[in-house]
Amino acid sequence: MTFGFASSSAASLSSSTASASRVLEPAEWAAASIPLLRNPREVVSGLHARHHPRPSTAIVAVLDPDERLCASASFTRRAAPADGWMFRNALLSQLRRVIPHDLRRRTPVRTAVLLYCREGDTRWTEEDGAWMWGLRDACTLHGLRCGAYITLTHDGWQVLGEGRGGRRPHAHSAPEPLATADAPPPVPRTGGPVSEVLRRAAAR
């Protein structure tokens, strides 16, 4: 019996072909019916304020049906060729760390979105395509809907495939403070002559 081995050139070609298949082109992403964010600026600003991303930082966030943030995690992309399979594994690891899976649900309820801070402009790159592939696959394996992929560059933020974006925040901007809408109302002041008059009136 004879065993043969593929030549190094053939193996390299096979590897590059497999890697290329783990990239989503913009047309494929647009055809995937990714749910639109109702308020992408609010989502981007909130994640930017929480995680203070710098270039090569990825933020994966899980939103409930009302687009409220359930959980989020950030990590730095390792210096290696863009590979959707590796990105999928990194995203899945972060999701498993911050939120239980929804695999028992017949239909996904929560949605995962990905914000990636990088150098360059807002145009699609092969690295973006690898992140898209990784996000879609990680969502499937964690029982989530695949949501928006957002890039954060020096020019601002951009929801790829939707044409929506803005100039702030951008890859090098200082994070804005988190909104204080959930803070309890201030306790009313007591004491003083007006307060005493009201107290006596209430006692009558």
| Cβ count near 78 (within 10 Å) | 8
Least confident among 64-73, 95-104, 184-193: 184-193
- CATH number assigned to the domain covering 22-171: 3.40.140.10
Q: What are the Cα distances from residue 180, in Å, to 46, 124, 126, 185, 199?
A: 11, 35, 38, 10, 32
pLDDT of 181 reads 35
pLDDT level of residue 179 (50, 70, 90 thresholds)? low
pTM of the model: 0.77
Least confident among 7-11, 120-124, 155-159: 7-11
The model's pLDDT over 35-73, given as tens digits with 9 standing for 90+, comes to: 999 999 999 999 999 999 999 999 999 999 999 999 999
pLDDT of 178 reads 66
